[in-house]
Structure 1
Amino acid sequence: MTTGAVNPAHYASQLETKVTRLQQLLAPYTAASPTVFASPASHYRMRAEFRVWHDGDDLFYIMFDAETRAKIRTDQFPVGSELINHLMPAIIDYVKYQPVLRNKLFQVEFLTTTTDQALISLIYHRQLDEEWQLFAQQLKQHLSQYGEIHIIGRAKKQKICLEQDWVTETLTIAGRDYSFQQVENSFTQPNAAVNKHMIEWALAATQDRPGDLLELYCGNGNFSLPLAQNFDRVLATEISKTSVASAIYNCELNKIKNVTLVRMSAEDFSAVLAGSKQSRRATEADVLSFNCQTVLVDPPRAGLDMDTIELVRQYEMIVYISCNPETLAENIGQLANTHEVTQTALFDQFPYTHHMEAGVILTRKVQ
């Protein structure tokens, strides 16, 4: 999204359009209006990336128009966190006069937290050496006036970390602080304020639920850790090796001991529970010992495949977080003979775009 699309004066009407669209998609399954969680109108996005344009002695960030692919100079990014907006000019002003850092710098990526930590990835079209590391350390020191800064240098088949490739986000969820390791290039929720709303909504919806929780697509434990207080145990699955390592780290960081992580895809896990596939990881986790009566899914835009639909159908309550309301509606239709929609929510993760995040609670119909 380019800065030209951002106009806070239009935010309320754009959000209302999304609400109407979600209601239309879910109309076959519920007449209830969704609970709406708005985003801050600016400085809500915790990560961003920009191409770096070299124009003679000048150096600046650009983005591309989604339709025309025209270059748009981007000196500030109002949807980005305040820390991103502090760091953007500070990096350009420093790198512009340091040939070692400037030479063939192609892109800059930012991952920031609400607690003023930042991971900055400098991506080059050349190999990096010890001289680059020396100057990058000096840049890191210069930027430390803005917060806790970490820098990574990347080039083809090369990655140089100055100390670490992650930051720690701390979110206050229903009065309790949770810390989450967020690793470069692994999935994290982009809008911290709306992410808090999503977690608190799921936390309230599952309060007093019996038994254990099954979570598919658990990522770094974004939902697993806060929701663990509502259940005896949590069985969480995730395919990404990096995310599973972060989720385990985050459990230790937050002293949460009733979460079991299994590195498996949702499709493979469904096959294991259906008895059509063997898995050493599932056996080691003793997955059959869990008494899961609730399942939480947060799938990619493609939604749930049919095997996973049949898996989640077995549970009394389904908490479905979706980044694609079209596939959400399709999946609800596939579950409609056994489950009914009892709650809906719209989480505006992506203001000034047509994208939206939705939440739905489905409960098993009384036979």
Structure 2
Amino acid sequence: MSFSPLNPAEYPTLLTEKVDTVSARFEDLQLPQAEIYPSAPEHYRLRAEFRIWHEGENFFYAMFDPAAPKVPVRIDHFPTASQTICTLMEPLRQALSEQAILSTRLYQIDFLSTLSGDMLVTLIYHRRLDDEWQVAAEAVAAKFKIQIIGRSKKQKIVLDRDYVLEQLPVDGKHYAYHQYEGGFTQPNGEVNAKMVSWAKARCGQNPETDLLELYCGNGNFTIPLASHFRRVLATEISKTSVKAAHENFAMNAVHNAVMLRMSSEDLTSALNKERSFRRLANVDLDSYAIDTVLVDPPRAGLDEASREFIAGFQRIVYISCNPETLHRDLEILTKSHVVQDFALFDQFPYTHHMESGVFLTKRA
């Protein structure tokens, strides 16, 4: 990560350079011209993590440059983070530094915010936390109207709740999500909303067919897309994400989605009738009429079996966080499918990382 100050005036040029680099990687596949979805040039990241560096009775936020990993870089202003985080950082630091019970051996502070203004702060210590710490932390939480979690080795104290509530605005509607501490969420909320809107537009309305979603997380795409299909069959391996997804389905009155806690590889095997699983005992897989599949895999992309499996469906929406593994997978998928749309979503401004969206339909 670079620690040089952000220059919003440079962002359009940097984005163009990144788009050109990513687009060039796919030239051999002759994809359609990419639709570009930029980020806000400042205050775009909803999460931030800082080490705490103590100097006598005072401390400051710090990060470490990989080029000099033992030298703390003092962070007094962090415009990468959401405005909610930036506004809280200094008043929170002062409040914590005023009480030894809150600042002694404080090691790290993690912020998790939302577009809707909710905030969760995790205070991580190199010491055991006690009742006195909890009373003091509760006062700080009340003062700033935030959620606080205290952590130390083998200890987690949740003062009220260990999640934030997001209200994600997509196409004139707000979708509610519990986003848990430690669970995966999209870091750039505004760009995430653009990604969801793009996927909705690609899918259209399908009242007689079903959607299969692999790597569904906390239901980020599942919930907005559920109304586009008769039913949704979704899978996710993370226990935290599955818990959040079930809660999020209930909050958004989504009743036509089934969430399975199992790997995409296992669900693929079950749908191919290669193996049976106890957790599928009450799920009638044969009753699904799946014609669309949405995949949002980790950086490793799709495994060979899943890639071969999804090639059997009429339509594929592929969300990727790694152009290299996306290119590898598209080399195979474009043998059976045609790429109709290609989009680039700049989740991580000022870095080389780029999120991609590809919409494919079965060749005639």
Question: For this structure pair, what is the TM-score category when the shorter chain's length is used for normalisation?
Answer: over 0.9
Output the amino acid matched with 2:285: V
Match of 1:180 in 2: 177
Conserved? CA contact 2:3–2:65, under 8 Å: no
Equivalent pair of 1:5/1:352 in contact (CA under 8 Å): no
CA contact (8 A) 2:340 2:360 kept: yes
Number of the residue aligned with 2:249: 251
Specify the SS of the correspondent of 1:62: strand
Conserved 8 A contact 1:235-1:287: no
**How far has the Cα of 1:102 moved from its partner?**
0.5
> Which contiguous aligned blocks of 4+ residues in structure 1 show a shift greater than 6 angstroms?
none
Alignment-mate amino acid for residue 61 of structure 2 = Y
2:274 counterpart letter in structure 1 = S
- Residue from 206, 220, 223 that aligns with 1:222: 220
The offset of 1:68, in angstroms, is: 2.4
- SS for the counterpart of 1:307 is helix
Give the match for residue 17 of structure 1. Answer: 17
CA shift, 1:275, in A, is: 2.2
Q: Which residue of 2 aligns with 1:98?
A: 99
Instruction: Tell me by how many angstroms 1:226 deviates.
Output: 0.3
Identify the residue that residue 47 of structure 1 maps to in structure 2: 47
Cα pair 2:32 2:339 within 8 Å, conserved: no
Q: Once the 2 structures are TM-superposed, how far is the Cα of residue 101 of structure 1 from its aligned partner?
A: 0.4
Q: 2:34·2:344 contact (CA, 8 Å) conserved in 1? A: yes
In the alignment, which residue of structure 2 is the partner of 1:301?
299
Write out aligned runs for 1:160-309 (5 A): 160-209=157-206, 211-309=209-307
What is the TM-score with the length of structure 1 in the denominator?
Answer: 0.96
Partner of 2:67: 67
**Counterpart contact for 1:2–1:64, Cα < 8 Å:** no
Cα deviation for residue 3 of structure 1 reads 4.2
Give the secondary structure class of the aligned counterpart of 1:326.
Answer: helix
Please say if 1:28 is aligned against 2:28.
Answer: yes
The equivalent residue for 2:114 is: 113
Paired residues of 1:2 and 1:63 also in contact (CA < 8 A): no
Preserved contact between residue 29 and residue 341 of structure 1 (Cα < 8 Å): no
CA distance in 2, matches of 1:223, 1:204: 12
Once residues 216 and 351 of structure 1 are traced to their aligned partners in structure 2, the CA distance between those partners, rounded to angstroms, is 27
Gapped regions of structure 1 (runs ≥ 5): none
Q: CA deviation at 1:260?
A: 0.9
The 1:341–1:5 alpha-carbon spacing in structure 2 relative to 1, beyond 3 Å, is farther
Amino acid at match of 1:194: V
Q: Under a length normalisation based on structure 2, what TM-score does the superposition of the two structures give?
A: 0.97
What's 2:327 paired with?
A: 329
| Between 344-353 and 53-62, the greater mean CA deviation after superposition | 53-62
Distance 1:198 1:329 in 2: 19
| Of 317, 341, 365, the match for 2:363 | 365
Q: CA offsets per residue over residues 36-58 of structure 1, 9 Å max, x none?
A: 00000001100110000001122
Check whether the contact 1:3–1:78 (CA below 8 A) recurs between aligned residues: no
Task: Confirm or deny that 1:85 pairs with 2:86.
Answer: yes
Work out whether residues 217 and 239 of structure 1, in 8 Å CA contact, stay in contact via their aligned partners in 2. yes
Measured after TM superposition, the shift of residue 5 of structure 1 is 5.2
1:351 aligns with 2:327: no
Alignment partners' CA distance in 1, 2:262 and 2:19: 34
Paired residue type of 1:150: Q
Specify the code of the residue in structure 1 equivalent to 2:123: L
Instruction: Return the alpha-carbon distance in structure 2 between the equivalents of residues 28 and 219 of structure 1.
Output: 32
Match of 1:303, SS state, is: coil
**Gap regions ≥5 residues in structure 2:** none
Deviations 1:84-132 (A, max 9, x none): 0111101110111200000110000000011211010000011111111
Amino acid corresponding to residue 245 of structure 2 in structure 1: A
Give RMSD over aligned pairs: 1.2
2:53–2:72 contact (8 Å) kept in structure 1: no
Per-residue CA deviations over 1:136-191 (Å, capped at 9, x if unaligned) read 011112212xxxx1000000010000011001100121111110110000000000
- CA shift digits 1:11-42 (9 cap, x unpaired): 11111112112211222222421000000000
CA–CA distance in structure 1, aligned partners of residues 219 and 5 of structure 2: 32
Per-residue CA distance 1:44-89 (angstroms, 9 max, x = gap): 1001100000011221000111322232100111010111011110
Question: Matches of 2:311 and 2:200 in 1, distance apart?
Answer: 21
Matched letter for residue 41 of structure 2: A
1:322: Cα distance to partner?
A: 0.3
1:247-273 CA distance string (max 9 Å, x none): 111111011111111111111111112
